[in-house]
Amino acid sequence: MAAHGSGPDPIARPAPHSADARRLRVLLATLADLERPGGVPRSVRMLAEGLRARGHDVATISCPIAAGVRRTVLRRVWRRVSPSSEEARRIHGALSRMAADFARCGARDVGIAFEAWSADVSAAAGIPTVLRVAGLGSITDEWVRNGFIAAGSRVVARLRQRESAGTAAARHVVVLGAASADAMRALGVREARLSVIHNAVAVPGGAAEERTDDAVRVVAVGNLRKVKGADVLAAALAALPDGLRERVEFIHLGEGDDDGNPVFVTARNSLTAAGVRHEFRGAVPHDAIWAVLRSADVFAFPSRVESFGNALVEALAAGLPVVATDVGAVREILGDGATTAGLVVPPDDPRRFAAALAVLLRDADTRHDWGVRNAERAARLFGVETMLDRYERVLRAAVAGS
C-alpha cells in the first residue's frame, strides 16, 4: 500500500532489547481515567507493564477531566449557560492537578504524555517529553468534533495555545498511523521528531462466549458517539436483504447506551424497526470483550473518523473477518492486495456497508479463511515486544536530545 505522505522514520526499525541497557525512570501522564475502558487507558497500562517488565522504573499519573469537580449550584448554572467554558475549566483544573503530581514524583529521565495539553505540563516540569498522539492531529479539534466544546467558543483559542505549546515542547512525537503523521506534519512537526508506532495487542486467555443458536453474529466495539458510526452500522444491518437480515444477531459493546444519547436511540430504533436481533451491552470489562469477539462471526468497524482503531486490531487477533470504513489507519491495519482479509468501504455510507456485510454473511468459508489470515497478520505486525522495542528507542533518543 502506498503511504499517505509518509517520509523516513528515524525510529522506524525495532532495536533488539538489551538486558544491560540503562534503566530509565519513565513517567506516563494522561487525562484519561485508567479505570475505565478505552484505547488510551489500555495503551497506558500495556506500555507501563511492558516497560516495567524490561526493568525500567515506571510511574503513571492519571488526572481524569471529571475528577475532583465539585457540583456546586454555581457550577451547574455555569455549565448550562456556557458548557464549553465549563469543559475548559475542567481541563485546566485537571492539568493543575497533574502539575502538582509531577512535582511529587521527583526526578524522571523522560515522560510520555498522552495529550498535547499534558505534554505542556510535562515539559514545564523540566522532563524530556515524548508526546504520544492518539487522534488525528489536534486534540482541541478532537474535542470540537466530538461535541464536547462548541467550534465557535472563545475557549477554543486558549486550548489551542496550550496544545501548541505542548506539541512544540515535546522532543519527540509518536503517532499511530500514516494519517496521524500527515496531520502532525500539517501542524508543523518536523520529520526528525516524528515516528509511527502502531498500537500492539496482547491476546489474553479465556474461552469464547457460549452460543445457543446458528445466527451469524456481528460484533462492534466502541463508544456510542457520532464519530464511531453505530447509527451507520445499524442502518446497514437494517438494509440487508430479506432472508439474510433475519439470520443476523448484532452485539454492540461500548458506553453510551442511554436514552439521552441520540446516536444510541437512532441505532436502536433502526434495528428494532427492521427486526434485527440486537443487544447493546454497554461498557464491559476487557476480558468480556474478548469472550464476545471469540464467539463472533464478523467484526464491524463503522467509524466516521478514526486515528488507529485498537478494536480493529483486537478483532484481527481474535481471528475475525472485518468490514471497516476507509478512515485513519484502517488500510494500514488490514493491508492491501493479497494480504487483505477485510472489506473497506467509504464512511457514512450504510448501503455500501450493507453490501460488504452481505458478502461475508453469505459465505462461511470466506469468513473462516479471512479470520485465520487476520490472526496471523495481527501476530506478525502488532506484537507487544515490537512496540516496546520502538518505544525504548524513542525514549532513549528523547533523553539524549536527539
**Distance separating alpha carbons of residues 19 and 115, to the nearest angstrom:** 31
Classify residue 333: in a domain, yes or no: yes
Residues 394 and 374 in one domain: no
Classify residue 368: in a domain, yes or no: yes
Percent with pLDDT over 70 in the chain: 89
pLDDT at residue 241 tops 50: yes
pLDDT at residue 7 tops 70: no
Q: Can you read off the three cell numbers belonging to residue 144?
A: 470540537
State the residue range of the domain holding 229. 216-381
Give the pLDDT confidence score for residue 319 in this predicted structure.
Answer: 94
Confidence of residue 13 (pLDDT cuts 50, 70, 90): very low
pLDDT at residue 17 tops 60: no
HSE-up (13 A, CA, CB side) for residue 243: 1
Give the pLDDT confidence score for residue 106 in this predicted structure.
Answer: 83
Which residues is 173 bridged to in the sheet? Answer: 131, 194
Confidence of residue 89 (pLDDT cuts 50, 70, 90): confident
> Where is pLDDT greater, at 20 or 188?
188
Please name the helix (run of DSSP H) or strand (run of DSSP E) that holds residue 322, with its range, or none.
Answer: strand 322-325
Is 133:141 a contact under the CB 8 Å cutoff? no
Is 108:122 a contact under the CB 8 Å cutoff? no
User: Looking at residue 364, which CATH number applies to its domain?
Assistant: 3.40.50.2000
The C-alpha R_g of the chain, in whole angstroms, comes to 21
Total number of domains in the chain: 2
Confidence of residue 85 (pLDDT cuts 50, 70, 90): confident
Residues 130 and 253 in one domain: no
Give the pLDDT confidence score for residue 393 in this predicted structure.
Answer: 95
Strand order in the sheet with 57-62: 57-62, 25-30, 110-113, 129-132, 172-175, 194-196
Q: Can you read off the three cell numbers belonging to residue 245?
A: 437480515
Closest C-alpha among 330, 365, 359 to residue 346: 330
Lowest-pLDDT choice from 66-70, 107-111, 223-227: 66-70
Residues 355 and 221 in one domain: yes
* Residues contacting residue 365 through CB under 8 Å, at least 6 positions apart: none
pLDDT in tens, 159-213: 889 999 999 999 999 999 888 899 899 989 999 999 999 989 888 888 888 888 8
Residues 244 and 366 in one domain: yes
Residues 252 and 376 in one domain: yes
HSE-up (13 A, CA, CB side) for residue 382: 30
Q: Return mean pLDDT, the chain.
A: 87
Confidence of residue 6 (pLDDT cuts 50, 70, 90): very low
Q: How far apart are the first and last CA of the chain?
A: 30
What's the whole-model pTM score? Answer: 0.77
